[in-house]
């Protein structure tokens, strides 16, 4: 664990230094995709196409960055991306989603993740949320174990599908249903035709 605490604070969308720090953290994350909004921006990207700037400027998103203690290096050693929203079932409520949690591999097992989660909890409390939901992909086993140790359960399973795949599967399913319906209609027509032939051949 760290003998000196990292500094955890909100990233400032108006601060060029924060933009640079966040870009560095995104580039250092596995696959260069520490922030989901890189793939699917939560708002319209600026004319520059800078999705990191768009992420920071989004009104429902907060990015928390963890900076090393003085004299222990520079740059971002961890980040958390939060999104505020609302649910309607089972009852209307404010919810805070932890969309991404990332800690530099060189700084793991030093308490950085715990400090980020403490800041996340403070943000959720300030927003009036009673729960924090966290997202971790199937491959992020270390993140899943870390969240489980802190009390995050699995109340539901969220599945996702690329839109082209969904449309393709729906089209195939529709074609299969239509084919079964056509076969049933053809079988019924054949049965009725057979009955008519039998009646036509019947004596009297």
Give the model confidence (pLDDT) of 75-111 as tens digits: 778 888 888 888 776 778 888 888 888 888 888 888 8
100 touches 37 (CB < 8 A): no
- pTM exceeding the 0.85 threshold for the entire prediction: no
CATH code that applies to domain 7-149:
3.40.630.30
- Residue 10 scores a pLDDT above 90: no
Cβ contacts of residue 79 below 8 Å, gap of 6+?
Answer: 11, 22, 25, 34, 35, 63, 64, 65, 66, 100, 101, 102, 116
Given this model, what pLDDT does residue 32 score? 42
Handedness of CA 96, 102, 103, 109 (dihedral sign): positive
Given this model, what pLDDT does residue 44 score? 38
- Residue 168 scores a pLDDT above 70: yes
Q: What is the percent of the chain with per-residue pLDDT over 90, rounded to a whole number?
A: 7
Q: Model confidence at 184, in pLDDT bands (50, 70, 90)?
A: confident
Given this model, what pLDDT does residue 38 score? 35
DSSP 8-class letter at 86:
E
For the chain, the distance separating the N- and C-terminal CA atoms, rounded to the nearest angstrom, is 100
Given this model, what pLDDT does residue 115 score? 92
Q: Model confidence at 31, in pLDDT bands (50, 70, 90)?
A: very low
- Using CA atoms, how far residue 196 sits from 85, 183, 184, 188, 202, in Å, is 64, 20, 18, 12, 10
CA nearest neighbour of 85 among 76, 73, 93: 93
70 touches 62 (CB < 8 A): no
49 touches 67 (CB < 8 A): no
Cβ contacts of residue 95 below 8 Å, gap of 6+?
Answer: 84, 85, 86, 87, 129, 131, 132, 133
Q: Model confidence at 204, in pLDDT bands (50, 70, 90)?
A: low
Given this model, what pLDDT does residue 35 score? 40
């Amino acid at each position: 664990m760290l003998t000196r605490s990292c500094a955890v604070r909100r990233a400032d969308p108006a601060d060029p230094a924060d933009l640079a720090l966040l870009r560095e953290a995104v580039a250092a994350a596995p696959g260069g995709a520490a922030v989901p909004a890189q793939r699917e921006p939560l708002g319209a990207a600026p004319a520059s196409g800078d999705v990191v700037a768009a992420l920071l400027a989004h009104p429902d998103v907060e990015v928390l960055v963890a900076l090393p203690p003085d004299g222990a290096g520079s740059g971002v050693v961890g980040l958390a991306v939060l999104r505020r929203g609302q649910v309607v079932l089972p009852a209307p409520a404010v919810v805070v989603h932890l969309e991404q949690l990332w800690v530099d591999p060189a700084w793991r097992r030093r308490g950085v993740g715990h400090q980020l989660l403490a800041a996340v909890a403070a943000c959720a409390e300030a927003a009036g949320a009673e729960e924090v939901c966290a997202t971790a992909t199937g491959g992020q086993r270390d993140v899943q174990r870390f969240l489980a140790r802190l009390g995050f359960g699995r109340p539901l399973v969220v599945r996702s599908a690329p839109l082209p795949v969904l449309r393709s599967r729906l089209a195939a399913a529709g074609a299969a249903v239509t084919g079964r319906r056509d076969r049933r209609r053809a079988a019924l027509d054949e049965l009725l035709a057979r009955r008519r032939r039998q009646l036509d051949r019947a004596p009297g």
